[in-house]
Structure 1
């Protein structure tokens, strides 16, 4: 006689084992919520990936405020605190180490979430868009399997879509067209202009194309004046 399966049928057994594995993942404080780690420039794709991961684990309410904090004297407080600290651990593990250290003393997962949003959520994303478009343009197969090349390209396309979602709004499209001209102009500059390029891209608001051109021309003149000054300083003095 065959030994009786303690979990019931094979299908039922598979479901039980799956639920057990899921439970182990849900209580592991060392888990990352996403392969995308938060840095100073990728808040949007990071926040979306983290929100999806928390939603899939029924924990989104801890950061969006829909799960209220019980009173400290309530019998449910300890259970809430345990889960909230678990969510905090997941969030911190989904950041680069230097950022995790900054936010590690947050009072709760919702406070941590709001602080990160205030610090990085309203920043100008021009620098990241510029880098993505540059990376996409420079992407080559270089002997890699096609599926790997396609995966890299789709990943960058998806992140770019996060910063630039599809729209038919005329003013938005005109703004993007001018941004693309600025990106193309900046990417064509010599390496000696790297600091200036970074300064322009990290502005709270990306300047107009005309303003960028004026800034580059002023920098070029400044460099020429400095070079002339250096030449005069080192030129041999004529004795009278």
Structure 2
């Protein structure tokens, strides 16, 4: 794919315009958008201009006009009208940072750190929580950047920041994710925040598919541990409270009497003499003989099913 030099007529839309309260997000998105077009153009935000007598000055000037126009396009009109007098893109960029960035305002930095520890998922879905936390972390990176200079120290400090983000994200999650949170914190090494988000998002999808109740945080764990192997071939099912509720309580049939055959523990509607005997039961005469002999299996099955008849 051949690179095409941007033209002064090109537009660059980043999805929001600078106003008096969104500079941190706007500046990051602007840098990403311009850098995505050309890293050479991105340098116009931070580098001093070439000397007017330099052989490459005309090319530099054309590129700078492009960057300048992109900045103006993404500023609210009531603000942009007062900013067109700046000579080059860097001067405009620096002026915007001075005017709208709070810089090293420690009170706002303190407020952001408080938000990272107090934020809760609440009524938000997982994606909304993740976006909110990304915004806070981004503002913190701008206001409280990595202060280290040595490469090794920078790496160590970044590792601490990554762990802090992980703890803050897990703390913000609802109680229903406690099981997956414990599993993530037991991992060695710890996952990144992005990896943790992916794992929790997968868990949320599983919960939705299985129709689990958000009010019962232990349900996911119960289902995960509810199937155990009692021998090499057959699973032994341990019923959770959710499964138990699927089975209705037994009805006392001791007071039931059939008006057709006169026998107990069932009614006329369920009498085999009317409904017909199933294949697994004997003929009527034989069933009576077994019942008179006190066959306990007959009593148990009749009790549970509410049918007349006997088992051979």
- Give the alignment's TM-score, normalised by structure 2: 0.36
- Give the alignment's TM-score, normalised by structure 1: 0.44
Higher RCO structure, 1 or 2 (CA under 8 Å, sep 6+):
1
Q: Which has more helix, going by share of residues?
A: 1
